Amino acid sequence: MSNVSKQVLVLNGPNLGRLGKRQPEIYGHTTFDELAAMCVEWGRGLGFTVDVRQTNHEGDMVDWLNAAADNGTPVVLNAAAWTHYSYAIYDACAQLSAPLIEVHISDPTRRPEVFRHTSVITEHAAAVVAGKGIDGYREALEILAREPGNN
């Protein structure tokens, strides 16, 4: 691959650091550390250097998205609960110049909680991958690899 050093951020919002412990019937048994290692490996196979991060603090996420905007860095984003209401994250995503892929482990539109059926992120995303479990992150990275300028 020609883009061995192409940086990609995989950003994860609140409670995703508890993967493997939190509602495994919805989110599976893979831990966050295992997910991060898989994303790095999947990305390497696609010619990316992947930086996987998770925060429970909205300001950290906004800062990371602003830096991605400034640096032209593609982003895979699982904003978790912020997906449904954070206009600060909406505004930060609006600034991105490189592709944004929105990812969700479960399919929010099939969840019983009606508030989960709305995403403020989707408007800014080149693609949305939802309901494919942890494998959705692999698919999101593959979509980025097909985006112009990333292959």
Q: Could you tell me which residues are annotated as the binding site for substrate?
A: 78, 84, 91, 105-106, 116
Cα separation of 102 and 119, whole Å?
10
Provide DSSP, 23-70.
-HHHH-S--HHHHHHHHHHHHHHTTEEEEEEE-S-HHHHHHHHHHHHH
Please, what sign has the CA dihedral across residues 133, 48, 41, 82? Answer: negative
Phi, psi of 144 (to 5 degrees): -60, -40
Q: Which of 57, 87, 104, 137 is catalytic?
A: 104
Q: Residues near 24 by Cβ (< 8 Å), separated by ≥ 6?
A: none
Q: Could you tell me which residues are annotated as the binding site?
A: 78, 84, 91, 105-106, 116
Q: Which of 27, 90, 124, 137 is catalytic?
A: 27
Annotated catalytic, 27? yes
Which residue numbers are catalytic?
27, 104
